[in-house]
Amino acid sequence: MIRLLQIICIFQLFSCNSTLNDISEVEEQPVESEVIVLATELTSPWGLTFLPDGSALVSSRTTAQIHRVPAGGGTPQLVGTVPGVSFSAEGGLLGLETSPSFENDRTIYAYLSAQPTNKIVAIEIAEDFGTLNVSNVLLDGITTANRHHGGRLKIGPDGHLWISTGDAFQPELAQNSESLNGKILRIGLNGSIPEGNMNNSPVYSYGHRNVQGIAFGPDGTVYASELGHRTWDEVNVIHEGLNYGWPQSEGTTGSFGEPPLTVFHPDDCSPSGMAYARGSLWMGALGGQRLYQIPVENGELSGTPIAHFVEEYGRIRTVELAPDGSVWLFTSNTDGATWGGTTPKQGDDKILKIELE
């Protein structure tokens, strides 16, 4: 067993349609949970998606490789290298998601930064997991840049593919209705546009800076984690067609756009991947080097955020709920980050498994 510490933090509590409700301090409280190291010595892992047999596929941002990790952990097996990936400070092979019909179509989806624009592709995986092939481009036209790609993919309870994009270091794109950047997008698994999107486009919500986490509550609530600039990082509840304020507003600074569910200072956070499990959002923090547990219910905070693993494992990039109910997470210490980076530890990067109690 390993002991997780809840640190003193300051958080701000919002509902989706209200202003500030409360500011609270959180006392230290020990929590226990088992942590298992499933794999080591990964290179800049970014995307994680589970297969029907419980194994997982992992993307490497800086090599464009996809590896398969056994359900019980072990040496990752190289599946192949995704062609057409363009590398930059934050770009490369990013999010992955598995087709609900994988056993029949052998398909996963991937977000890649590319030239001339970033794109979402379908990839077919060979039966022996020894090769891969890009079979279709579902969406392109996402402005590329050195930073702020977003990159997370999730299939929602509606059966559609949800995509997070960054503002490509051009803040004005977040408010530009003609741009796919600074948005949360939603498309069909064949690239079609679902009913309910904005203006018959892939756009579902806008006014985002750099969303790297999407999670769905059991009631269908859509949550997103968003990297701020130097004032506030955000967790938002996402609604169709709404404006989340960037760049006019950042967190609780400014009154333009929807208020966040909760905010964290970037020094303590810089949020990336996020998953829902057992009544909480579990959110990785890069610069903050910790895993946040954020109790939620029906789109509102139901308790105070808790920080686990503070500076214990380094930067945490990706958090996913495994088929067995555990939580898998990646460290991100070999990523070469120029902002909030850290020296890799022995065995980095790692996949960790948390047995929730």
Q: What is the pLDDT of residues 135-191, one digit of tens each?
A: 999 999 999 999 999 999 999 999 999 999 999 999 999 999 999 999 999 999 999
What is the pLDDT, as a whole number, of residue 340? 67
Partner residues linked to 320 by β-bridges:
328
Burial environment of residue 90 by CB neighbours within 10 A (0 to 12, 13 to 18, 19 or more): buried
Q: Is the pLDDT of residue 16 over 80?
A: no
Question: Which of 64-68, 124-128, 276-280, 341-345 has the least mean pLDDT?
Answer: 341-345
What is the pLDDT, as a whole number, of residue 33? 73
What is the pLDDT, as a whole number, of residue 341? 74
And the tokens for 162?
Answer: 């949800």
Structure confidence at residue 32 as a pLDDT band (50, 70, 90)? low
Q: Which residues contact 197 (CB under 8 A, 6 or more apart)?
A: 186, 203, 204, 240
Q: What is the mean pLDDT of residues 51-71?
A: 98
Q: What percent of the chain clears pLDDT 90, i.e. is strictly above it?
A: 87
Q: What is the pLDDT of residues 73-125, one digit of tens each?
A: 999 999 999 999 999 999 999 999 999 999 999 999 999 999 999 999 999 99
What is the pLDDT, as a whole number, of residue 20? 34
The torsion angles phi and psi of 353, rounded to 5 degrees, stand at: -115, 130
Q: What is the pLDDT of residues 217-275, one digit of tens each?
A: 999 999 999 999 999 999 999 999 999 999 999 999 998 999 999 999 999 999 999 99
Q: What is the mean pLDDT of residues 28-55?
A: 87
What is the pLDDT, as a whole number, of residue 30? 41
What is the pLDDT, as a whole number, of residue 21? 34
What is the pLDDT, as a whole number, of residue 336? 85
The torsion angles phi and psi of 102, rounded to 5 degrees, stand at: -55, -40
Query: Three-state secondary structure along 150-196?
Result: CCCEEECCCCCEEEECECCCCHHHHHCCCCCCCEEEEECCCCCCCCC
Q: Is the pLDDT of residue 276 over 50?
A: yes
Q: Is the pLDDT of residue 193 over 60?
A: yes
Helices (H), the chain: 102-105
Q: What percent of the chain clears pLDDT 70, i.e. is strictly above it?
A: 90
Q: What is the mean pLDDT of residues 4-22?
A: 36
